[in-house]
């Protein structure tokens, strides 16, 4: 390892949302950003950019689109057309705008990322939320999958957008080609546009990521894919994202509805170029570290807390764990915060039940500390 992910850095001095208002002594594993310092290449790009004391309106340089197109070609072995790209300041506001590219209702599966669920509603749309299927495999691995029978039963004549999250926050699934084909078939049957949020697409442990628009012709012509370097490269506070919209009419509608979104700022542009162009080796080490964190956490939860239920994380740095057997039936995150001084997101934000979401993009020593505190609190409660 040439990069250091083990050192615990003080994030409070940057106004980090994760640490804001968290009393000393409590350990947060909440909002989905990482506790790691950025790659040196990103720091250099930002220092170089700020060293020119010129921060006026600017067009992104040619390397902006180019670095992303080349990253895509390198990663997926296929190319994107430059005109398909719509640069964005971030994905959250774009999730709301995407709901306006059609006039009817939206449908999605839950649990799902809270801002993906609130986006359509903020745009004044009705959202049909369909629970996923919780499955236990023969080798005792727990995971979620699409419940197409329920989706078929829930979809209405006037539904015209499907929201997909892949890799899926919070349940950690990386969908297979067959599953994504089923999503495309479902969308075709009901004439839906698919809005695919792929921000976690570089944090992968078990299988490759398949961009939704590459699944088939229908998917290409009826989809809006969002992706961004924020999660992977630890720069979500700088902002910057891309929409990939191959269909010209859909793209124009999105751009018209999203006029007020704006574009990435000068520093976002500099950081994104460096992330997509210069950070492959850093990312490789990051993902290796996160894979070890994933394995460590899943093994330790199994060993220390045999009554807990946890889904297996295939991608994202998020664990989805049910500690209800230890905490009782109320909100688990509240019990754990009180009794163990460890902070997690509760299930409610995701329209889920009886789980906490554990962001494990943190130095391993912090995971150990949290596991020890949980064990102590659960032992105390059982006495």
Ligand X SMILES: Cc1ncc(COP(=O)(O)O)c(C=O)c1O
Binding letters toward ligand X, positions 27-66, x by CB under 6 A: -----x----------------------------------
Interaction with ligand X in 140-169: which residues (CB under 6 A)? 165, 169
Q: Whose Cβ is closer to ligand X: residue 32's or residue 101's?
A: 32
CA neighbor of 99 nearest in space, from 87, 115, 86: 115
Q: Give min distance, CB of 32 to ligand X, in A.
A: 4
| DSSP class per residue in 211-269 | -GGGS-HHHHHTEEEEE-STTTTT-TTT--EEEE--SHHHHHHHHHHTGGG----HHHH
Q: Give min distance, CB of 1 to ligand X, in A.
A: 26
d(CA 162, CA 127): 9
Q: Give min distance, CB of 306 to ligand X, in A.
A: 30
Contact call for residue 228 and ligand X (CB under 6 A): yes
Interaction with ligand X in 190-209: which residues (CB under 6 A)? 197, 199
- Candidates 9-17, 34-42, 73-81, 84-92 — which segment interacts with ligand X by CB under 6 A? 84-92
Question: Under a CB-based contact definition with an 8 Å cutoff, are residues 114 and 350 in contact?
Answer: yes
Instruction: Please give the structure tokens belonging to residue 318.
Output: 């998020």
d(CA 97, CA 119): 8
Contact call for residue 230 and ligand X (CB under 6 A): yes
Binding letters toward ligand X, positions 87-116, x by CB under 6 A: ---xxx--------------------x---
CA neighbor of 151 nearest in space, from 140, 159, 141: 159
Q: Give min distance, CB of 21 to ligand X, in A.
A: 19
Contact call for residue 241 and ligand X (CB under 6 A): yes
* Residue 260: partners with Cβ closer than 8 Å, 6 or more residues away: none
Residues of this chain that bind ligand X (CB under 6 A) = 32, 90-92, 113, 165, 169, 197, 199, 228, 230, 236, 241
């Amino acid at each position: 390892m040439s990069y250091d992910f083990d050192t615990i850095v003080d994030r409070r001095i940057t106004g980090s949302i994760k640490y804001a208002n968290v009393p000393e002594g409590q350990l947060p594993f909440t909002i989905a950003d990482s506790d790691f310092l950025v790659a040196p290449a990103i720091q250099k790009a930002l220092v170089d950019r700020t060293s020119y004391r010129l921060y006026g309106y600017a067009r992104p340089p040619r390397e902006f689109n180019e670095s992303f197109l080349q990253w895509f070609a390198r990663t997926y072995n296929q190319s994107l057309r430059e005109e398909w790209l719509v640069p964005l300041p971030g994905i959250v506001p774009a999730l709301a705008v995407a709901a306006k590219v059609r006039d009817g209702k939206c449908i999605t599966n839950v649990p799902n990322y809270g801002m993906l669920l609130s986006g359509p509603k903020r745009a004044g749309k009705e959202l049909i939320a369909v629970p996923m299927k919780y499955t236990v495999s023969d080798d005792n691995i727990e995971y979620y999958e699409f419940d197409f029978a329920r989706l078929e039963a829930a979809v209405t004549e006037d539904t015209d957008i499907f929201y997909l999250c892949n890799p899926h926050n919070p349940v950690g699934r990386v969908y297979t080609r067959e599953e994504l084909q089923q999503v495309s078939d479902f969308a075709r049957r009901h004439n839906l546009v698919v809005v695919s949020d792929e921000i976690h697409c570089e944090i992968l442990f078990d299988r490759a990521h398949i961009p939704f628009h590459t699944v088939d012709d229908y998917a290409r012509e009826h989809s809006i894919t969002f992706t961004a370097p924020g999660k992977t490269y630890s720069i979500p506070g700088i902002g910057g994202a891309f929409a990939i919209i191959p269909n010209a009419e859909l793209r124009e509608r999105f751009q018209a509805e999203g006029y007020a979104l704006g574009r990435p700022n000068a520093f976002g542009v500099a950081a994104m170029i460096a992330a997509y162009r210069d950070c492959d080796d850093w990312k490789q080490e990051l993902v290796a570290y996160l894979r070890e964190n994933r394995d460590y956490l899943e093994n330790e939860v199994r060993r220390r807390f045999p009554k807990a239920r946890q889904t297996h994380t295939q991608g994202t740095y998020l664990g989805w764990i049910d500690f209800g057997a230890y905490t009782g039936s109320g909100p688990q995150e509240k019990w754990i915060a009180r009794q163990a001084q460890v902070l997690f997101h509760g299930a409610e934000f995701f329209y889920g039940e009886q789980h906490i979401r554990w962001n494990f993009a943190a130095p391993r020593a912090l995971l150990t500390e949290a596991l020890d505190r949980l064990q102590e609190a659960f032992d105390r409660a059982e006495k």
